[in-house]
């Protein structure tokens, strides 16, 4: 394996999500109990790595956090060390601060780095590995859009939150005979919308993988009304788009690895449906509620397995790899395999076919 590992660093990058603390806890406990290692927590993700903001972690630091949402280490999705935002003479410029990060790791005596993050953090972790940093990566995103792993932690918790929202929308939709739209996250993949829509009994689900047409949505809603079902629930993934159209962009964030911030598509679709179908609509944007709160039992277990497996991978010398769920096992896979492509919903897959079989429309 080369140099003996005595101290590891751990950071959380990108957006927060339920289960991060459970991973941190598992990393610390496994490192100390199984391998007698020291653990250093890097504060606020790659920002802390650039600016040398770190603290030792022990079992007392991680006691009682398995059920807590967020991350005790803090995080950011704007501080890419390879494109670090710096203001000079009133102008925003970008610099490569990766060498500074590597020097900070060496000064702290950190022999290996565990990065917990999503797609953006994955690319940064891989870039550091290419520069010789011993890195193991843990896949984190509520979007479940990372290839090479069956599931990412945080996804189940986000789906549960969205499903609970759909359950609540049902009662007011039925009472007022309205079409209720719920916009959920997911970026360029429709996993959250598909799973929560099915679990919540939605009538229409709009996802990026299946371009929709407004007349088809209206026809489905009107057919329900003719059968006496004078309300409908439409779940909309933030990346859904009309056939021949484009995704609705809320804003651009220049400092981010992925500068595009999607949002607002549900409002656009609801307005068109109300005009064409002649039914009153209301829109709820679930937003960051999907990323907050306590992780589900499933995510607590998966996160714990990921954290423990990451330390095992470090000690086995499996650097430049991601710990991935290949049901029923968690195994190390090359980072380049994980970077390959986004994992998207298969429009002809079994889950979509099951949704269609029970009467859910996709607007296509």
Selecting from 3.40.50.10490, 3.40.50.450, 3.40.50.720, 1.10.10.60, what CATH number does the domain 7-153+295-327 have?
Answer: 3.40.50.450
Range 111-134 average pLDDT: 94
- Of all residues in the chain, the percent with pLDDT exceeding 90 is 78
Confidence (pLDDT) at 1: 42
Structure tokens at 176: 């007022």
Is the pTM of the predicted complex or chain greater than 0.95?
A: no
Q: Poorest-confidence range of 57-66, 252-261, 352-361?
A: 252-261
Bridge partner residues of 237 (DSSP): 184
Catalytic residue flag (residue 143): yes
Q: Retrieve residue 169's tokens.
A: 């929308």
Q: List, in order, residues 6 or more apart from 151 with CB less than 8 Å away.
A: 144, 302, 325
- pLDDT tens for 125-180 read 999 999 999 999 999 999 999 889 999 999 999 999 999 999 999 998 888 888 99
Cα–chain-centroid distance for residue 187? 9
Give residue limits of the domains in the chain.
Answer: 7-153+295-327, 157-291+346-357
> What own/partner pairs with CB < 8 Å and gap ≥ 24 does 347-355 have?
347/209, 347/210, 351/194, 351/195, 351/198, 352/194, 352/210, 354/198, 355/194, 355/197, 355/198, 355/205
CATH of domain 157-291+346-357: 3.40.50.460
Round the average pLDDT of the chain to a whole number and report it: 93
Q: Which of 143, 145, 203, 299 is catalytic?
A: 143
Cα R_g (the chain), whole angstroms: 22
pLDDT, mean of residues 322-347? 91
Tokens 């607002």 correspond to: 264
């Amino acid at each position: 394996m080369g140099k003996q590992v005595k101290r590891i660093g751990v950071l959380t990058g990108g957006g927060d999500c339920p289960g991060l603390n459970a991973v941190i806890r598992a990393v610390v406990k496994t490192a100390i109990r199984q391998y007698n290692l020291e653990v250093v927590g890097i504060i606020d993700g790659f920002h802390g790595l650039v600016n040398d903001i770190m603290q030792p972690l022990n079992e007392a630091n991680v006691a009682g956090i398995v059920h807590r949402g967020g991350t005790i280490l803090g995080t950011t999705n704007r501080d890419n060390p390879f494109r670090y935002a710096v203001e000079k003479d009133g102008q925003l410029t970008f610099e490569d601060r990766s060498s500074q990060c590597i020097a900070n790791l060496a000064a702290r005596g950190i022999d290996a780095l565990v990065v917990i993050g999503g797609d953006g953090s994955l690319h940064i972790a891989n870039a550091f590995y290419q520069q010789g940093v011993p890195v193991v990566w843990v896949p984190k995103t509520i979007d479940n859009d990372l290839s090479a792993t069956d599931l990412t932690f945080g996804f189940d918790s986000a789906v549960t939150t969205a499903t609970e929202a759909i359950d609540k929308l049902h009662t007011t939709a039925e009472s007022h005979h309205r079409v209720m739209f719920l916009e959920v996250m997911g970026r360029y993949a429709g996993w959250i919308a598909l799973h929560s829509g099915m679990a919540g009994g939605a009538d229409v689900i709009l996802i990026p993988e299946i371009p929709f047409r407004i007349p088809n949505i209206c026809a489905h809603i009107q057919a329900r009304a003719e059968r006496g079902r004078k309300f409908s629930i439409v779940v909309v993934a933030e990346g859904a788009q009309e056939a021949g159209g484009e995704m609705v962009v809320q804003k651009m964030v220049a400092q981010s690895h992925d500068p595009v911030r999607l949002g607002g598509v549900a409002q656009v679709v609801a307005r068109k449906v109300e005009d064409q179908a002649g039914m009153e609509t209301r829109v709820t944007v679930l937003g960051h509620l999907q990323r907050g709160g306590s992780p589900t039992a499933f995510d607590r277990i998966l996160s714990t397995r990921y954290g423990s497996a990451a330390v095992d991978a470090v000690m086995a010398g499996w650097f430049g790899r991601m710990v991935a769920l290949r049901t029923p096992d968690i195994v190390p896979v090359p980072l380049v395999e994980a970077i390959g492509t986004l994992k998207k919903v298969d429009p002809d897959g079994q889950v979509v076919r099951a949704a269609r079989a029970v009467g859910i429309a996709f607007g296509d």
